Structure 1
Amino acid sequence: MQTTGWEDEFREYVRARGPALLRAAHQLTGHPLDAEDLLQNALTKTYLAWDRIEDRRALDGYVRRAMVNINISQWRRRKLEEYPSDELPEMCTSSSDESHGEVHEELERALGELPERMRAAIVLRYYEDMTEPEIARTLGISVGTVKSTVSRAMGKLRSALTRHPS
């Protein structure tokens, strides 16, 4: 099967940027298999739009935006599976000699426990370095909702990281 130049260009892009994009997808979904599905869906959309993307330097942004939009669509369809509680978790202090890898693993686990909207807001704010107005536009919510969502998510992350020391 003979390929066109743009198909080769797309394949090379996926080979070069795939691992980094998969990490971003994992941050959004919190699950490796869901991340692979999310990235595959986003790459399919990118492939279909390849000839319309004039600025090749913007490809990562295009794929990331597609992943966020697809992920938002998926979690909007799901029912609320977490309910508020009157009980606060017990606070513990984590050991000071944790290695960077252990901290990263704990953070990954804690991110995976967050509800999808909170996880998306945290990933966009701290991993993608988006501003609150940018996050609000991306998630289709108000800036105030972004602020409260990020604040509650950070509280949950702090709680989870002190509750489950390595």
Structure 2
Amino acid sequence: MLSGPDSFDEFVQTRGWALLRFAYVLSGDPHLAEDLVQEVLARLHRRWDRIAEMHNAEAYVRKAILRQFLSWRRRRAYREAVLAEVPEPAVFDEPQTRVLARDQMWQLLSGLPRAQRAVLVLRFYCDLPDPEIAALLDCGESTVRSQAARALARMRTVMAEKGLVGDG
């Protein structure tokens, strides 16, 4: 990868949307996602020559976005998001059911602690194995597994409480 301002602009143009989608899945808020990506890219722009020489610059940027999301400075803004209540289950056609399921998933994810949410996003959205997640989060693989287990258990509990779990 080339270094210099042209390579930074090219990187942002080619990978910007993917980074924004990643931040959106982490945060669940389009405005916060934009802030996360913008802050990280602004901070990394100064050092882009060194970052561009790395084997995988995008992985480095994603890790920076993840760390910014998990940062204590973001906690207050993250908790201020207003969430709509879960709508009644739709019994109509398939597209409505998919939209409802997606909305319910967003609400379930938003109720998790940041670290648990990050583990689930990295595992299921980014399709990363536990060793890579552990490296990104600077923790042990057992911590990743326990965070994922706690998150999934919490989501199952909330789903049962809200009657979102089928009888089958």
TM-score when scaled to structure 1? Answer: 0.71
User: What amino acid maps onto 1:107 in structure 2?
Assistant: M
Report the equivalent of 1:122.
Answer: 120
Report the equivalent of 1:136.
Answer: 134
Deviations 1:112-150 (A, max 9, x none): 221101111111111122222222222222222211110
Quote how far apart the aligned CAs of 1:164 are: 6.5
Q: Does 1:20 align with 2:18?
A: yes
CA 1:76–1:42 in 2, change beyond 3 Å: closer, same or farther? closer
Say which SS state the counterpart of residue 46 (structure 2) adopts. helix
Q: Paired residue for 1:74, among 72, 77, 80?
A: 72
Aligned partners of 2:28 and 2:110 also within 8 Å? yes
The 5-angstrom pairing of residues 1-150 of structure 1 reads 6-52=4-50, 53-55=52-54, 58-74=56-72, 97=94, 98-150=96-148
TM-score when scaled to structure 2? Answer: 0.71
Deviations 1:89-122 (A, max 9, x none): xxxx986955333322322222122110111111
CA distance in 1, matches of 2:145, 2:20: 27
CA distance in 1, matches of 2:106, 2:75: 24
User: What amino acid maps onto 1:136 in structure 2?
Assistant: A
User: What amino acid maps onto 2:64 in structure 1?
Assistant: A
The alignment's C-alpha RMSD in Å is 3.0
CA distance in 2, matches of 1:32, 1:139: 23
CA distance in 2, matches of 1:120, 1:75: 16
Aligned partners of 1:75 and 1:116 also within 8 Å? no
Say which SS state the counterpart of residue 99 (structure 1) adopts. helix
Percent identical residues: 36
CA distance in 2, matches of 1:24, 1:31: 11
Counting matched residue pairs gives 147
- Of structures 1 and 2, the one with the larger relative CO (CA 8 A, separation 6+) is 1
